[in-house]
């Protein structure tokens, strides 16, 4: 929802048509407001750009209100600990407040210079706190999850000393291409360590594990992971690996059971990044419907229903639709 005063103040009526809308909204006081129209505009929130429909209201107290449907659609997470709003499971993160942050223990970290990170390399880059008042503190830098989705780089969680609002951050580029990191990119957040919250006491309840117990525990864990790997139908009986190598490989596979899907129920879908295929002005490419044999039709229907059941596919009326090609 948007205030009509801001709509006309920004001269949006000159570029964006005000369409008819039939919406009644009830405010916190119980007053009823009727929309005078609706507009569809491009907006940017942090690093996220999108098209959004806004209803325009008169006598509106706020300039803009983002509703629960909007926040739900973008998988929004409100983090009151560091006063940030996270959208699309970490694709973008930005502060909820403008101006001075009253919580001096938390602030954003940005790159000082334009950085070129070579492929398959690990570098240490200079960073600075966005809040210039932080001169000398000890704390933890946590990398921005956006780095993985946008730049394909990974930042390290580091214990650092801030001096004159500057420090360093360890960054890894695991890709085969160099990555450019622009100046002033927000790449993390700094949290001051409160010394009074650190406890280093060793109590009488501390337990010691001798080497014999630890060895037995490790063997039990290895046996468990090997059984898990066997349940995934891994078979290395005809491989050239030694028995010791086979055991290590089976333990590794069993430890990482969560990355394997043995059926469609475990396949799942990613929500880390919304994919949009830009087709420009190209006309839709379609293929004519053709009849399938009863056997192929039955098999195709079975797979379609199974994928729909587990939310892998959904019904579509796309102009780019094509017949199913069953690969046997």
pLDDT digits (tens, 9 = 90+) for 108-137: 888 999 999 999 999 999 999 887 777 788
Rounded Cα–Cα distance for residues 188 and 136 (Å): 18
DSSP structural state of residue 270 = -
- Confirm if 226 and 246 have CB atoms less than 8 A apart: no
pLDDT digits (tens, 9 = 90+) for 266-324: 776 777 777 788 888 888 887 777 788 888 888 888 888 888 887 888 888 888 878 88
How many CB atoms neighbour CB 39 within 10 A?
A: 19
127: tokens are 């960073």
Which CATH class for the 84-195 domain? Answer: mainly beta
**Where are the chain's structural domains?**
2-74, 84-195, 213-260, 267-275+285-328
Instruction: Say what the pLDDT of residue 197 is.
Output: 61
pTM for this prediction: 0.37
- With 0-12 CB in 10 A as exposed, 13-18 as middle and 19+ as buried, what is 107? buried
Smallest CA-to-CA distance from 123 within 151, 149, 155 is with 155
């Amino acid at each position: 929802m948007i205030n009509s005063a801001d709509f006309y103040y920004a001269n949006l009526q000159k570029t964006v048509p005000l369409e008819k809308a039939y919406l009644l909204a009830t405010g916190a006081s119980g007053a009823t407001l009727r929309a005078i129209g609706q507009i569809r505009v491009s907006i940017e929130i942090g690093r996220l750009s999108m098209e959004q429909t806004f209803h325009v209201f008169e006598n509106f107290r706020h300039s803009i209100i983002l509703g629960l449907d909007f926040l739900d659609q973008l998988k929004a997470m409100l983090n009151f600990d560091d006063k940030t709003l996270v959208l699309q499971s970490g694709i973008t993160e930005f502060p909820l407040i403008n101006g001075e942050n009253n919580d001096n223990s938390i602030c954003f970290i940005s790159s000082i210079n334009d950085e070129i990170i070579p492929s398959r390399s690990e570098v240490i880059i200079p960073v600075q706190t966005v809040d210039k008042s932080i001169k000398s503190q000890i704390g933890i830098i946590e990398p921005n999850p956006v780095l993985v989705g946008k730049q394909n780089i990974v930042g390290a969680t580091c214990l650092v000393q801030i001096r004159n609002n500057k420090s360093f951050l360890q960054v890894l580029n695991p890709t085969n291409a160099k990555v450019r990191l622009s100046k002033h990119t927000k790449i993390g957040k700094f949290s001051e360590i409160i010394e009074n919250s650190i406890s280093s006491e060793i109590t009488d309840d501390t337990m010691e594990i001798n080497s014999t117990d630890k060895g037995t525990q490790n063997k039990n864990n290895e046996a468990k992971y090997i059984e898990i790997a066997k349940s995934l139908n891994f078979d290395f009986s005809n491989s050239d690996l030694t028995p010791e190598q086979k055991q290590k490989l089976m333990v590794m596979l069993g430890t990482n059971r969560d990355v394997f899907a043995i059926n469609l129920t475990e396949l799942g879908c990613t929500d880390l990044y919304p994919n949009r295929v830009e087709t420009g002005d190209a006309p839709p490419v379609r293929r004519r419907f053709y009849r399938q044999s009863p056997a192929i039709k039955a098999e195709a229907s079975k797979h379609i229903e199974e994928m729909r059941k587990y939310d892998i596919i959904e019904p579509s009326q796309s102009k780019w639709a094509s017949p199913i090609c069953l690969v046997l």
